Amino acid sequence: QKEVEQNSGPLSVPEGAIASLNCTYSDRGSQSFFWYRQYSGKSPELIMFIYSNGDKEDGRFTAQLNKASQYVSLLIRDSQPSDSATYLCAATTDSWGKFQFGAGTQVVVTP
Partner 1 sequence: NAGVTQTPKFQVLKTGQSMTLQCAQDMNHNSMYWYRQDPGMGLRLIYYSASEGTTDKGEVPNGYNVSRLNKREFSLRLESAAPSQTSVYFCASSDVIGETQYFGPGTRLLVL
Which stretches of the chain bind partner 1, using CB under 8 A?
2, 4, 8, 31-32, 34, 42-46, 49, 88, 90, 92, 96-99, 101-104
| Nearest CB to partner 1, comparing residues 18 and 98 | 98
Query: CA 38, CA 18: separation in Å to the nearest integer?
Result: 19
| Nearest CB to partner 1, comparing residues 49 and 71 | 49
Q: Closest distance between partner 1 and the C-beta of residue 69, in Å?
A: 22
Q: Closest distance between partner 1 and the C-beta of residue 46, in Å?
A: 6
Say how many C-beta atoms besides its own lie within 10 A of residue 85's C-beta: 21
| Nearest CB to partner 1, comparing residues 22 and 32 | 32
Q: Closest distance between partner 1 and the C-beta of residue 77, in Å?
A: 23
| Nearest CB to partner 1, comparing residues 82 and 96 | 96
| Sheet of 19-25, strand order | 4-6, 19-25, 71-76, 61-66, 54-58
Query: CA 50, CA 58: separation in Å to the nearest integer?
Result: 11
Q: Closest distance between partner 1 and the C-beta of residue 106, in Å?
A: 11
Give, in order, the Cα–Cα distances in Å from 100 to each of 17, 18, 25, 43, 111: 29, 26, 9, 16, 33
